[in-house]
Structure 1
Amino acid sequence: MASNSAMSLLLMFAFVGVCMGDVYKVGDSAGWTADGHVNYKKWSATKFFCVGDIIVFEYNKEYDNVVRVTHKNFNACNGTAPYATYATGNDSFTIKNPGHYYFISTVPGHCRAGQKVDIRAPGSLSPPDVGPSPTPSEWPSPAPSPTKSGSSHHSTTKLWLSMGVALLLCVFGIA
């Protein structure tokens, strides 16, 4: 019995370490913009979002907005039936459930120019699949440090902790 309690406690602490309510600024230092210098698909693919994380959109409210839409409307750059519309220039969205969250700009031409982001918060402890590993010739050059509370080291820590939890679940026959 004691070992089961200890295991439960260890798993609880590991899970808390995996998802701590991080704050992510969309587009890092560039923010939410249509200037074409931010690839929001790549930006979101390099993050491990969890329930409790806060997504921050910073932009010039005179020239832009943020609209949460369905997957279909995300693909079509259609903001006519939004879940929510934000227009303050400094908007936050808290991930309350696992799933996909789709955001676009509805300023004419912005979404089609790439100002849209798909935030994926998995329902499990493992990070989302980001596709095949690149070959050495495809490795990107080092990127600047992200503007996120904690730093990119924290995302790596979350990955290692989630892998450790999965290993413990397998070792103790829980999974």
Structure 2
Amino acid sequence: MVAFLSCAKATNYTVGGFEGWKIPSSAGAYSDWASQHTFEVGDVLGDVRFRLEQNDVADVTKEDYDACNTDSPFTVLSTSPANYSLDTAGDYYILCTTAGHCSQGQKLAITVTEPPSGPTSSLPGSPPPPSPTTGATTSPPSVGSSLDIARLVLLVSILMGLLC
């Protein structure tokens, strides 16, 4: 159960890792960084290291991203710390609007996906769910069946931990 709950947590990413949001040392630095992560709805870009001294964070269209056009961003975050929430699935195009920064590689394109939902089928080898009965009485579970349930819960927790 604990492993399942930990899967549902959003991730707060520091764009660019330790270096943060600045003109990168190489043109592909942010795409290299992004390729190491899987972004999901609910995640957040930025934290206290999202450096905005002479930078800002703007989301733009793909065309504006490709052309480093900063004339009509959807939103601009210019106060540190900046946190940019990834609220919907799809492609995001983010750049710095400070003159020359985008053309020097300070831009990021990512794809955000829906988080995976919980398990939808039973585990292999697990018994099928009980069928509903009307008017039937059942005896209390035996000690053996309680241990089987505990083992099943442990197995599911371990599997969820491995999947996350």
Identity between Structure 1 and Structure 2 (%): 27
1:108 aligns with 2:108: no
Match among 20, 39, 43 for residue 31 of structure 1: 20
Q: Give, in angstroms, the shift of residue 68 of structure 1.
A: 0.7
Q: State the superposition RMSD in angstroms.
A: 2.8
Unaligned runs of at least 5 residues, structure 2: 118-158
Match among 47, 52, 57 for residue 66 of structure 1: 57
Matched-pair contact (CA < 8 Å) for 2:40–2:115: no
Unaligned runs of at least 5 residues, structure 1: 1-9, 127-156, 163-175
- Could you tell me which residue of structure 2 aligns to residue 165 of structure 1? none
1:94 aligns with 2:85: yes
Distance 1:96 1:60, change over 3 A: closer
TM-superposition CA deviations, 1:58-78 (whole Å, max 9, x none): 1143x1111110111111111
* Number of aligned positions between the proteins: 119
- SS of the equivalent of 1:74 reads helix
Superposition pairs for residues 128-167 of structure 1, below 5 Å? 161=163
- Could you tell me which residue of structure 2 aligns to residue 117 of structure 1? 108
- Could you tell me which residue of structure 2 aligns to residue 49 of structure 1? 39
Greater C-alpha radius of gyration: 2
Letter in 2 for 1:107: T
Distance 1:51 1:108, change over 3 A: same
Distance (Å, rounded) in 2 between the aligned partners of 1:97 and 1:64: 25
TM-superposition CA deviations, 1:65-118 (whole Å, max 9, x none): 111101111111111111100111321011111111111011111111110011
TM-superposition CA deviations, 1:32-70 (whole Å, max 9, x none): 011425700011111011111111161143x11111101
- SS of the equivalent of 2:76 reads strand
